[in-house]
Structure 1
Amino acid sequence: MTDHTLTRNLASIPHSIWPADDLRRAEKEAADSLGLTLHELMLRAGEAAFTLARNTYPDAQHWLVLCGHGNNGGDGYVVARLAAAQGIRVTLLALESDKPLPEEAYEARDAWLNAGGVIHAPDILWSEDIDLIIDGLLGTGLRNAPRDDVADLIERANKSPAPVVALDIPSGLIAQTGATPGAVIHAAHTLTFIALKPGLLTGKARDVVGKLHHHSLGLDSWLAGQPTTISRFDASQLADWLPPRRPTSHKGDHGRLVVIGGDHGTAGAIRMTGEAALRTGAGLVRVLTRVENIAPVITARPELMVHELTPQSLDDSLEWADVVVIGPGLGQQSWGQQALRKVENIRKPMLWDADALNLLAINPDKRHNRLLTPHPGEAARLLGCRVADIESDRLSAAQRLVQRYGGVVVLKGAGTVVADDAGHLGIIDAGNAGMASGGMGDVLSGIIGALLGQSLTLYDAACAGCVAHGAAADMLAERSGTRGMLATDLFSTLKRVVNPDVIDVNHD
C-alpha cells in the first residue's frame, strides 16, 4: 500500500529547484543559448505532455483540454492537436481575454485551428463521456486567486469523474510558495517543464499535484551549468550523509548527547527523543528530566542514562555532552525556564524544540550554533504573525526565522523547509500524512541531535534528519498505510533507514 498524496519516480526528479521568477527569466536565455525558439520549447512541452497522458490513460477516447490565455494555454493547444492527430476526440475550451496571446501560444493556437480544431467558449456544457482532462489554464505566473471565470472551470474540472493531467503546475497553485489562495486544480498527474518549482513540493502541493513528473525539454546541459539556491532532498541521498562506520569505531566516536525535558506528565516526549537518538546511532544519550520520570523511561529504554534535572546535573551534563537537545516536554514554568537560561549560552551544537521555542518567542535572541525545529504554530509565535502568514510562503518564513534567530531553522510540515544563515534552502521530499500525530516532532529532535553528534553540520544534520524521519514513515506507510501510525512505530524502520549501505530505502 502506498501514500497517494504525492508519488513519483525519484530517479526522474532533479534535486535542484529554481525560484519561479528566476526560471521564467531563464527560459528564454536557455533557449537562445541552445539555438531554440520559445515556440520550439512549447512544441516539446506539448509533445511530452501528450505522451505522458496517452501512456498513462491509453483507453481515454475523449479528452477535454482547458486552455488559458498564456503559454500554459499554448501547451494545451499543442496537446490537443497531437491528440486529435491520433484519432482521439478532443473538446477544447479557451478563456477569452482583451490581451493578445504570447507569440508562441498564438502559433500553437493557429496550428490547432489549421488542423481543423475548434475552440469552444468556456461556458459550454461538458459531455458526459469525457474521460481525461488536460489542465492548461494557468501557469507559473499566477500570484493571486484565479478570477471567477477561471475558478468556475477549475471547480467543474474537480467535480468531473475524469482524471486531470496538469501542464507544468496545477492551475491555482502558486509556483513559488505552494499556496492556494483560491480555486485550484486537483490533478492526478502533473508534468512540470524545464525545472522544479518550490510550490510543487511544499505548502498545499501534496493535496493537488498528484503524481509529479518532470521533463527538461532538452535543456539539461544549460541547467547543469547554472547555480541554484534551493535543493530537494530525498532518501536517495542518505548514503551521502551517512557513510559506513569504521569497523574499529566505538561509542565515543558517535557523539554524547544530552536531552533535556519531560516536565510533569510529559515523560513520553523526552523518552521518544532519547530513543530516537539511540536508533539514529548516537553513541551515548543522557536524559535530564523530572525525578518521577526516571524509572518509567529507564524501564522503557534501559540503554538511556536518565537523571533528575538539577542545577548540578545540568552543569555536569553540559560539560560532558557534545550536543544538547532541549524542549520536548520542557514546559514553560520556572523548571524549564531555568534550564533553558543555562543552556542558551553554551557554544556547543544545540537543538531547541517545542517549549524551548515558545520560551524563545518570549525572550528572543540570536545564536549561530543553534538549530530550531518549529511547526507552523511555533513559527508564527517566533515571528509574531499568524499561522496563515507562515503557510502562505513557507520558504520566506524559514528565511525570516533565520534572520531573526540565527543558525539553522527546520520549518516542519508537508514539504518541510530547511534554511541556514549562509543562504541555503532545502525542501524535504519525504514523509506522508501518517506523520500528523503526536510525538513525531520529539522523534525528529532525537534524530537530528544524534546526527549532530556524528559530525554533521547543523544544516546537513537538519536535512539528513528530516529525510530519515520521513523515509522511515514512508516505509511504514508502504507496509500498512498512514492512518494510525504512531511516532514510536518509526523506531522499527528508522534504524534501517540510517544504514543506507545495508538497504535501499526506496525499494524495501
Structure 2
Amino acid sequence: MRTAEKQAADELGLTLYELMQRAGAAAFNLARELYPQSQHWLVACGHGNNGGDGYVLARLAQAAGVRVTLLALESDKPLPQEAAYARDAWLDAAGLIHAPEHPWPDDIDLVVDGILGTGLAHAPRDNAAQLIEKCNHHSAPVIALDIPSGLLAETGAIPGAVINASHTITFIALKPGLLTGKARDVVGELHFDALGLETWLKGQTAPITRVDSTQLAGWLTPRKPTSHKGDNGRLVIIGGDHGTAGAIRMTGEAALRAGAGLVRVLTRSENIAPLLTARPELMVQELTSQTLDESLEWADVIVIGPGLGQQEWGKKALQKVENSRKPMLWDADALNLLAINPDKRQNRVITPHPGEAARLLNCAVSQIESDRLLAADRLVKRYGGIVVLKGAGTVVASQHGECAIVDVGNAGMGSGGMGDVLSGIIGALLAQKITPYDAACAGCVAHGAAADVLAYRFGTRGMLATDLLSTLYPFVNPDLNSQKND
C-alpha cells in the first residue's frame, strides 16, 4: 500500500498531502452523513500520517460549525511532512491541540480515531494504549480512520489495546487485517473510499482478493437447458463412522443442494437406513474395499473426512483415496490423519479450521490466528493444491499464488456441522467442473451468504448447519437473481 500510494500520486501528478486532504474530507463527509446531529467531536491524533488525516478532518469539521476538541500524542520524532502540513493548517485555522491527558468535555458526542495507522506492527505503546482505552470507555460512537488503532493491517491480529470502532473508513485499497483475524470484533461497519484513484486502481493487480456474493455469477453460470445429471457431476463422499452419521448426511445433502448431479455416500452399514430415510436422493452404500474401488472409478470428484474417525476403518479408506488423481476434498478426520502422514498433492482441496491447521503445521492455534494469511501460505507450500483456512474472514489460497479473503459469514456459524455442509458445497461445485480455486471461493461465499440471510432473519444464536440448506438456493443460482432484476 505504501508503494502503491506513492506510485499513484506520482503517475497522477498528485502530492501525498493532496491524498491526505482527500482522506480527511472523505472521513468528514462520512461522519456528517452517519451522525448529522452530532455537535461536538473529539479527534484523537497520533504522531503519523493517520494523525494527519485526523487534523484534516478536524479543520473541515470546525469550518462547518462543529465544535472540535483535538488531542494529540507527542513524540521526540518529527511528524511526517504531510502530517506536519495538516497540523499547521489546523493551527492556522485557530485550532487548538491538547495533550492526551486533557479532560474530555461533558458533551462529546462523536470520537474520531486517528491515533495509529496501518504501519503498526506491535502492541501500542503506553501513551497510545491509554488514549485508546479512554476512547473505548466513552459512550460516544467511534469512527476509525483507515484502520482501528491497535489492529494490525497485515494480519488482523490484536497484540494489545485496540479501538472498538462503530465505523471504519479505509482509503485507496482494503487492508487484509480489516477482513480476517480479529477484525470483525473491532472494525464495526467498514466503508471504503478510493480517494479519486479508481481509474488508476483498475490497472493494478492486487495480491489478495476480497470475495463476496456479488461475484457468484462469475463462477456459477446458468446451466444449458439440455443438461442432465451426468453433466452435473458424480460425487462420492466417504465417512460417517460409528456415531457420526449426521456429519456425512449433512455433507451429502449439501452437495445435492449445491447442484451435484449424483451423490453417493460410503459409510457404516448402520447408517444406510437413516440416511436414505432422511434424504432418499442420496445413494448410500456400506464402505467396503469393493464399494470403495467401484466408487473411486465411478466418481468425478471425491470428498473424504466428515465423520471418518481416525481408526483403522477410516485409515484404510484414506489410503486408497490418496492414490486417486481425481479432484478431491479432504476435511475433518482426513486432515487429522494427514497431519500424521503428511504428503503434497495438486489435485486436493483441504478445508482446515484453525485447530486442524495447527496440527497440520505442528504449531499452536494462536500462531495460526496471529497471521492467518501466512498460515494459509505455509499450508499450501507443505500440502499443495488449494487451502481453505476457515474462520472469521476465511482465507483461500492456491499453489499458484492466488489468495482471497471471504467477506461473508457471521458468528452464528460457530456450531457443529457447518464444516460438513461447506465440504458438500465445494465438492458439488468441483463435480460441476468449476476449477478447484474457484470452487473453493464460490463454495465459501455461498455457504457464508446463506448463513447471513439466516442471521438477518433470526439472529445468530441457535443457527443450525442444516438451516443453511433452506437459504442456499439463490446463491448457487445467481442467474435467478439477475432474471428477477430484469
Q: TM-score, length-normalised on structure 2?
A: 0.99
Q: Does 1:102 pair with 2:83?
A: no
* Structure 1 residue matching 2:266: 3-state secondary structure: strand
Counterpart in the other structure of 1:411: 389
Q: Using the alignment, how far apart are the partners of 1:226 and 1:163 within structure 2?
A: 35
Counterpart in the other structure of 2:412: 434
| Residue 487 of structure 1, aligned match among 435, 450, 465 | 465
| Residue 322 of structure 2, aligned match among 344, 356, 359 | 344
Q: Using the alignment, how far apart are the partners of 1:485 and 1:293 within structure 2?
A: 25
Whether the 8 Å contact between 1:255 and 1:283 is mirrored in structure 2 is: yes
Whether the 8 Å contact between 1:236 and 1:505 is mirrored in structure 2 is: no
Q: Using the alignment, how far apart are the partners of 1:504 and 1:361 within structure 2?
A: 43
| Residue 331 of structure 1, aligned match among 309, 314, 318 | 309
Runs of 5+ unmatched residues, structure 1: 1-22
Counterpart in the other structure of 2:2: 24
Counterpart in the other structure of 1:151: 129
* Structure 1 residue matching 2:107: 3-state secondary structure: coil
Q: 1:261 to 1:505 in 2, by over 3 A?
A: farther
| Residue 371 of structure 2, aligned match among 386, 393, 409 | 393
Whether the 8 Å contact between 1:189 and 1:212 is mirrored in structure 2 is: yes
Counterpart in the other structure of 1:75: 53
Matches within 5 A, 1:308-319: 308-319=286-297
Q: Using the alignment, how far apart are the partners of 1:351 and 1:386 within structure 2?
A: 24
| Residue 203 of structure 2, aligned match among 216, 225, 229 | 225
* Structure 2 residue matching 1:251: 3-state secondary structure: coil
* Structure 1 residue matching 2:397: 3-state secondary structure: strand
Counterpart in the other structure of 1:266: 244
* Structure 2 residue matching 1:467: 3-state secondary structure: helix
| Residue 210 of structure 1, aligned match among 184, 188, 191 | 188
* Structure 2 residue matching 1:413: 3-state secondary structure: coil
Counterpart in the other structure of 1:10: none
**Superposition deviation, residue 504 in structure 1:** 6.2
Describe the superposition over 1:2-38 as per-residue Cα deviations: whole angstroms up to 9, x where unpaired: xxxxxxxxxxxxxxxxxxxxx1122111101111111
Q: Does 1:383 pair with 2:340?
A: no
Runs of 5+ unmatched residues, structure 2: none
Counterpart in the other structure of 2:422: 444
Tell me which amino acid in the other structure corresponds to 1:421: Q
Q: Does 1:87 pair with 2:65?
A: yes
Give the stretch that moved more between structures: 109-118 or 119-128: 119-128
Describe the superposition over 1:109-159 as per-residue Cα deviations: whole angstroms up to 9, x where unpaired: 011111111100001221221100000000000000001111111111111
Q: Using the alignment, how far apart are the partners of 1:31 and 1:217 within structure 2?
A: 11
Counterpart in the other structure of 1:196: 174
Counterpart in the other structure of 1:5: none
Counterpart in the other structure of 1:8: none
After superposing on structure 2, the runs of 4+ consecutive aligned residues of structure 1 that deviate more than 3 Å are 504-507
Describe the superposition over 1:251-298 as per-residue Cα deviations: whole angstroms up to 9, x where unpaired: 000000000000010000000000000000000000000011111111
* Structure 2 residue matching 1:112: 3-state secondary structure: helix
Counterpart in the other structure of 1:51: 29
Select the structure with the greater relative contact order (CA < 8 A; seq sep ≥ 6): 1
**Superposition deviation, residue 226 in structure 1:** 1.5
| Residue 113 of structure 1, aligned match among 91, 96, 99 | 91
* Structure 2 residue matching 1:120: 3-state secondary structure: coil
Tell me which amino acid in the other structure corresponds to 1:377: G
Tell me which amino acid in the other structure corresponds to 2:282: L
Q: Using the alignment, how far apart are the partners of 2:260 and 2:53 within structure 1?
A: 52
Count of matched residue pairs: 485
* Structure 1 residue matching 2:472: 3-state secondary structure: helix
Q: 1:505 to 1:266 in 2, by over 3 A?
A: farther
Q: Using the alignment, how far apart are the partners of 1:232 and 1:194 within structure 2?
A: 14
